[in-house]
């Protein structure tokens, strides 16, 4: 290495070390000026409904100005409380995400004014198999069977009893399994979050008929207008296969046509048509014959026939 290159390397090391030392000292002085407070965070992932114990949480210093309102700052304020929802590792604990002290298990997940109602029937597996998980939203269908002569249904009916109901637990599980699937043959009960009035309807429906669940999109919270289906409605029904994508395709084509019409340059306005030519007056051909009788002169006018064309 030439002396010049060696000198440049030495100077680079000196300048680089000086810059790093200066930045470190500056950050150290700045950190000493920032006031921090201990915040309670989760040691590992904590599932919904779990009771918080001292070994599940730890403290971590946060800048005082960055601590959100409602954050728990003391371990004793977090223990003996259940989580309303799942917590991630190192996530701060908030008062709004924990139940009051002493409440644990499923009861801690039931808001005031609501009820947890469990449906215990093996027919639940027929609707959505093992794809219902805690936290899903479902519709509850009620099927009632009657003798054909008992009513006008023809022997039975199915109605949408409840809509957009949250599942609190599947069997004894309040958290979805790792593979997001419950074995259908092991599904024995589902606990729903309902109002007291809805709980009464579920109890009556469970004793008088058969309940099924219909899985909803979590973002679909609109009430569907569904009329009850009866045996009379469907026993001779031959409905063609539904093709819901046809309507969506029409909407897409219409939107594309509207966008194309807006992007198309304006067409020049055609000139107005010329005014119609004035019709010439028809001239009737005539023949005048002069007559002389002695000293008298006369004239005879003869109209000639007009040949078409």
- What does each of the 309 residues of the chain score in pLDDT, given as a tens digit? 566 666 665 556 665 666 666 656 655 655 556 788 899 999 998 887 788 888 999 999 988 888 888 899 999 998 988 888 788 899 999 988 888 887 777 787 888 899 999 987 655 555 566 678 888 899 999 998 876 665 677 778 899 999 999 988 887 777 666 555 666 666 678 899 999 999 999 999 999 898 888 889 888 888 888 888 888 887 777 666 665 555 666 666 677 677 777 777 777 777 888 877 766 666 666 777 777 777 777 777 776 666 655
Q: How far apart are CA 198 and CA 203, in angstroms?
A: 9
pTM of structure: 0.54
pLDDT tens by residue, 149-165: 656 777 788 999 999 99
Residue ranges of alpha helices (H) inside 129-243 are 196-208, 231-234
Give the per-residue pLDDT at 290: 73
User: Rounded distance, CA 132 to CA 138, Å?
Assistant: 8
199: left (phi over 0), alpha (psi -120 to 50) or beta: alpha
Which domains does the chain carry? 36-108 (3.90.1210.10), 110-234 (no CATH)
Write down the pLDDT at residue 92: 92
User: In the prediction, which pLDDT does 100 show?
Assistant: 83
Confidence (pLDDT) at 178: 58
pLDDT, residue 161, reads 93
Distances 228 to 41, 160, 233 between C-alpha atoms, Å:
50, 7, 9
Say what the pLDDT of residue 164 is: 93
């Amino acid at each position: 290495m030439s002396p010049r290159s060696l000198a440049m390397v030495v100077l680079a090391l000196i300048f680089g070390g000086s810059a790093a030392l200066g930045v470190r000292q500056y950050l150290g002085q700045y950190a000493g000026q920032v006031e921090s407070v201990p915040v309670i965070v989760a040691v590992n992932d904590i599932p919904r409904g779990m009771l918080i114990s001292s070994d599940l949480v730890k403290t971590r210093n946060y800048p005082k100005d960055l601590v959100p309102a409602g954050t728990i700052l003391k371990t004793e304020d977090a223990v003996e409380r259940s989580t309303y929802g799942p917590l991630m590792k190192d996530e701060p604990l908030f008062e709004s995400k924990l139940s009051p002290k002493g409440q644990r298990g499923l009861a801690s997940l039931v808001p005031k004014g609501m009820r947890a109602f469990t449906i215990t029937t093996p027919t639940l597996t027929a609707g959505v198999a093992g794809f219902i998980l805690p936290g899903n939203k479902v519709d509850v269908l009620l099927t009632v069977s009657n003798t054909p002569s008992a009513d006008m249904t023809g022997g039975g009916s199915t109605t949408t009893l409840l809509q957009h109901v949250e599942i609190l637990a599947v069997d004894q599980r309040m958290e979805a399994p790792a593979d997001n699937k419950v074995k259908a043959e092991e599904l024995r009960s589902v606990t729903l979050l309902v109002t007291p009035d809805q709980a009464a309807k579920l109890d009556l429906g469970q004793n008088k008929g058969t309940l099924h669940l219909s899985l909803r999109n979590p973002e679909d919270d609109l009430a569907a207008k569904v009329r009850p289906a009866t045996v009379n409605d469907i026993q001779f029904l031959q409905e063609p296969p539904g093709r819901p994508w046809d309507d969506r395709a029409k909407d897409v084509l219409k939107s594309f046509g509207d966008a194309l019409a807006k992007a198309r340059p304006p067409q020049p306005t055609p000139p107005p048509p010329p005014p119609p030519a004035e019709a010439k007056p028809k001239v009737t051909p005539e023949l005048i014959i002069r007559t002389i009788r002695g000293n008298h002169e006369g004239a005879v006018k003869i109209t000639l026939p007009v040949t078409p064309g």
